[in-house]
Structure 1
Amino acid sequence: MTQTSRSIPLSAFGPDARSVDTEVLDSHIHHIEHGDGDPIVFLHGSPTSSYLWRHVFTRLTGRGRLIVPDLIGFGDSGRPDIAYELDDHIRYLDAWFDALELDNVTLVVQDYGAAFGVSWAARHSDRVKAVLLAEPVIRDIASADLPEPFVQAQQLIRTPGDGEKFVVEDNLFLTQVLPGAFLTPPAQEDLDVYLAPFPTAESRGHLIKFPRNLPIDGNPASSVDFLERSVDWLKTSNAVPKLLLTFEPGFLLTPEILAWATQNIAALEVRAAGAGVHFVQEEQPQAIADGVLDLLARAEGAK
């Protein structure tokens, strides 16, 4: 399946990067890739796209088969008529991993990309080489550990009617919440790339699902359950090296979740990676790229 118009500039990923559409289920997932060898798969979260990984991607060219997809409904991937719940994303990602026949995968994941990447790893443990986590969605978050303006925005978004107006009609999740999760708001030309796939209220309808599904104080229970399904693998996957990067001040990786990860995730190294809020790929790409290289060295050494 081809797509003639692109929202993501391929040039941002280097001169030899390729743009690929892969048919999955009733739609397609778009990805950008470069190189060959064992795959290094980068997964983004809400409400971004593959573009978020461009600076990490270009720092790793020549180090493997770099592959960065857009989640279904995001970036240049398709927009099937689905509910866009967490399990819907998993269905399409599972089909994409299978269509590309990806094995010996190093996962580099952030935000919901972490929830989905860990879920895939837990169910395909024989296909995973290593995992790097940055600002991940991996556990229920206590509202007391989150910035009060964000908690207030979450309450608004979860209110029927008010949430639709905030996210879908007035586009404030993209234009206010997104820029606020950087140390320095992104340049307008970069923000425009993140905004480009969602020019109308109709195109933004599904964007409300990710913030409403963020597990805060045990709600929604379905998201807590989704994350809980992967905990046994996280605790027992001693053969899969993992690296968790921390940032200051950070955002989703609260002290409570960091403590849980340190106590419960097998083969985990925790490393401070410098200043950053949530979209740390824009803020600390070199630290993330260095982390990937060190993780690959650990994986090779463990063989």
Structure 2
Amino acid sequence: MAQSFESNVSAEFPFPLTRVEVLESYMTYIDTGAPQTNRQEVALFIHGNPVSTYLWRNIIPHVSRNLRCIAPDLIGFGSSGKPPILYRFRDHAAYLSAFIDAILPNQKVILIVQDWGSALGFNWAAQNPTRVLGLAFWEFLRPFPTFDDLVRGPSQTLYRNFRDPVEGRKLTIEENAMIERVLPNAVMRPLTQVENDAYRAPFLEKGAREPLFRVPNELPIEGQLADVWDIFEKFHAWLLESEVPKLLFWAKPGRLVTAEKAAWYLERLRNVKGVGVGDGLHFLEEDHPQKLGTEITRWISEVVLNDS
């Protein structure tokens, strides 16, 4: 397979992080501030597992030329606090909601989301539909009727092991497999030492890795866990029915979203534009930031804000 990833990806993290107190802990976040356009709308970036705001370093510079961009480190991730909570989906949703209430209490937002961040973003959007101007997403989560719908091949065995209470903790807590195995194997190009170190930094201590164990155990597969399955079904139904403008990216072969799965959603989602980025696995942000950034910026201007 030809590798068409971008060669100009920068490892530099060009943004300062700000800290805000949230639910007896704190969350850190990027805030680019309002550009000279003085638009009040905000682009809200929500990352997934096992990464952080570092993932957005090559995409935000495109979008921030025209809009204020906010990108939090989810609770337990990045530089955010790591309180003694269970890190279930409901915990993450509560912290994200409290963060948005604190930083963006009234603003209209355009959500840019992937992986665990897609589920959290869709869930918030379904509960706050009047505040959502648009949704840009790729490699996104939804209810998975079977393990095959989530992932196939050797990766399925790994994810089944992640959900074993003994083997899963060994893999994620003791071996740090999410960072050392899953992350590099979900990018087409080799990550540099600087990039690997940036992603490792929040989880150098074993005690900080609880969120990495919990996320794969919260994925709604074959109806389990029942409470999470119910949440995902509700926001997934909203996603399919909503008229909010949507921008769906996919790659080949993809991981969570294959070309076939992308086609299925493009036929059923309303008010959607689809963009194929070429070769890619899961973290398209690391292989195609220029494509993602320019397409998101164009879509926001021409479709969401109708500035054309």
TM-score using structure 1 length: 0.89
Comparing 115-124 with 246-255, greater Cα deviation is found at: 246-255
Structure-1 separation of matches of 2:181 and 2:283: 14
The 5-angstrom pairing of residues 81-230 of structure 1 reads 81-100=84-103, 101-140=105-144, 142-145=146-149, 146-230=151-235
Look up the equivalent residue of 2:57 and give its one-letter code: R
Gaps of 5+ in 2: 1-10
Partner of residue 25 from structure 2, selected from 24, 27, 39: 27
Q: Tell me which residue corresponds to 2:79.
A: 76
The 5-angstrom pairing of residues 57-76 of structure 1 reads 57-76=60-79
1:107·1:131 contact (CA, 8 Å) conserved in 2? yes
2:252·2:259 contact (CA, 8 Å) conserved in 1? no
C-alpha offsets along residues 142-172 of structure 1, whole Å, 9 cap, x if unaligned? 4335231111111211112111111101222
Q: Tell me which residue corresponds to 1:42.
A: 45
1:139·1:257 contact (CA, 8 Å) conserved in 2? no
Look up the equivalent residue of 1:79 and give its one-letter code: K
Gaps of 5+ in 1: 1-10
Look up the equivalent residue of 2:255 and give its one-letter code: F
Look up the equivalent residue of 2:185 and give its one-letter code: G
Q: Give the superposition deviation at 1:244.
A: 0.4
Structure-1 separation of matches of 2:286 and 2:175: 26
2:73·2:80 contact (CA, 8 Å) conserved in 1? yes
C-alpha offsets along residues 11-55 of structure 1, whole Å, 9 cap, x if unaligned? 9343xx442111111111110121313211111001100001101
Q: Tell me which residue corresponds to 2:273.
A: 269
Structure-1 separation of matches of 2:51 and 2:78: 7
Partner of residue 283 from structure 2, selected from 269, 272, 279: 279
- Seen in structure 2, the aligned counterparts of structure 1 residues 141 and 268 have a Cα distance that, compared at 3 Å, is farther
Q: Tell me which residue corresponds to 1:12.
A: 12
1:13·1:58 contact (CA, 8 Å) conserved in 2? no
Q: Tell me which residue corresponds to 2:239.
A: 234
- Seen in structure 2, the aligned counterparts of structure 1 residues 210 and 289 have a Cα distance that, compared at 3 Å, is same
The 5-angstrom pairing of residues 238-249 of structure 1 reads 238=243, 240-249=244-253
Tell me the SS of whatever aligns to 2:57.
helix
Structure-2 separation of matches of 1:200 and 1:141: 35
1:234·1:264 contact (CA, 8 Å) conserved in 2? no
Q: Give the superposition deviation at 1:265.
A: 2.3
Tell me the SS of whatever aligns to 1:23.
strand
C-alpha offsets along residues 187-220 of structure 1, whole Å, 9 cap, x if unaligned? 1210111111111221112310111222334433
Tell me the SS of whatever aligns to 1:12.
coil
Instruction: Give identity over the alignment, percent.
Output: 35
Q: Give the superposition deviation at 1:260.
A: 4.4
Structure-2 separation of matches of 1:12 and 1:33: 17
Structure-1 separation of matches of 2:69 and 2:188: 27
